[in-house]
Amino acid sequence: MKINERIESSFDEVDRLDNERLDNFYTASQVYESLGLSRETIRYYEKLGLLSPLKQSGNNYRQFTVYDFQRLMIIDAFKKRGFTASQICSLMSLDTPEALVAELAGKAEEIREHMILLEKQLHQIEQDRCFINELPQTLHQFTIRSMPLYRVCSVFPAITSFEEYADKVLNRMDLDHEDILNKLIRVVHFDHESGYLNSQICVVELAETAEEGQTYLHSGRCIYSAVASEIGEMNTMGRMFELTSSWIDGQQLSDQGVVYIRPRCVLAGKLPAFYYESWVPLND
């Protein structure tokens, strides 16, 4: 034997043990214990046609081969990459690298879209957490903050105008990813002579810049406060009007005669408490 052939054949030792076991059979218990898969998972894969173990004649016990182990590890790898059972069935039938690349590219795009959604959800959760954490400093206290720009999509009379929700609210939001409360802002007009004048509910969305022909809430410099109210409590608005007016006079400020009230969270105890943001736009 030539030296190069001898050296090359020496590497047969790498796979010798595996090759000797190619004809071995393994029990279901050995599969469960070795791969960390449950009995139900194996049965499910069999039902989907992803796995077809041999059966012993006489007792009908399942027999698994080395190839079954390899197939299960491939299935597990696809599962850990986020593929669904039906997607894995399709993947396991592919026979060209190009076809697999196309499937992987599609999954990558799906994951990227999901990551964008998760980032939005994380941002909303962080905003809620920040609002709640600030309550000891902001509840019925006043500061000057800049209100974001909100475009008005539609309006209706009151929170309980549920008959208008389908047309005025649901048709203007992504039902899978947006919540109703986050789309609503109550707009209350008042003056310091008569008090309450009128109010309505605006369905809004954040905007980066104002566009001609669109309606927007006042943005910019506002008196900001967090407000708490229980269900059925009737004097919250009057109490906050008095507190706000007093603070404005003390600071020698001038408001625009409107307050924006945005629902933020609910503590659903025996007596549910609603927490809101209150924004009162100031004159320059």
Q: For position 227, which CATH number holds? A: 3.20.80.10
* pLDDT value at residue 125: 93
CA angle, 113 then 116 then 119, to 5°: 150
Rg (the chain; Cα; Å):
32
Sequence letter at residue 69: F
Give CB contacts under 8 A, 24+ apart, made by 169-175: 169/203, 172/203, 172/205, 173/203
158 & 254 share domain: yes
Report if residue 110 sits inside a domain.
Answer: no
Burial class (CB in 10 A: 0-12, 13-18, 19+), 279: buried
pLDDT in tens, the chain (284 residues): 566 777 777 777 777 787 877 888 888 899 989 999 998 999 999 999 999 888 877 777 888 999 999 999 999 999 999 999 999 999 999 999 999 999 999 999 999 999 999 999 999 999 999 999 999 999 999 999 999 999 999 999 998 999 999 999 999 888 888 899 899 999 999 998 888 999 999 999 999 999 999 999 999 999 999 998 876 666 788 888 888 989 998 999 999 999 999 998 877 666 668 899 999 999 98
* Tens digit of each residue's pLDDT (9 = 90 or more) over 194-212: 889 999 999 999 999 999 9
* pLDDT value at residue 268: 67
Report if residue 194 sits inside a domain.
Answer: yes
Q: Containing domain of residue 246, as a range? A: 140-281
64 & 194 share domain: no
* pLDDT value at residue 237: 83
* Tens digit of each residue's pLDDT (9 = 90 or more) over 246-261: 999 899 999 999 999 9
Query: Pick from 182, 262, 276: which is nearest to 229 by CA?
Result: 276
Report if residue 111 sits inside a domain.
Answer: no
Quick check: 131 and 123 in contact, CB under 8 A?
Answer: no
Instruction: Please count the structural domains in the chain.
Output: 2
* pLDDT value at residue 3: 63
66 & 194 share domain: no
Instruction: Tell me the torsion sign for CA atoms 124, 125, 128, 131.
Output: negative
Q: What does the block give as tokens for 102?
A: 């196309």
Residue 259, H or E segment: strand 258-267
Distances from the Cα of 35 to the Cα of 30, 56, 77, 114, 245, angstroms: 8, 22, 12, 29, 69
Report if residue 27 sits inside a domain.
Answer: yes
Quick check: 224 and 239 in contact, CB under 8 A?
Answer: no
Report if residue 225 sits inside a domain.
Answer: yes
Return the CATH number at 56: 1.10.1660.10
pTM above 0.85, yes or no: no
88 & 149 share domain: no
88 & 181 share domain: no
* pLDDT value at residue 20: 76
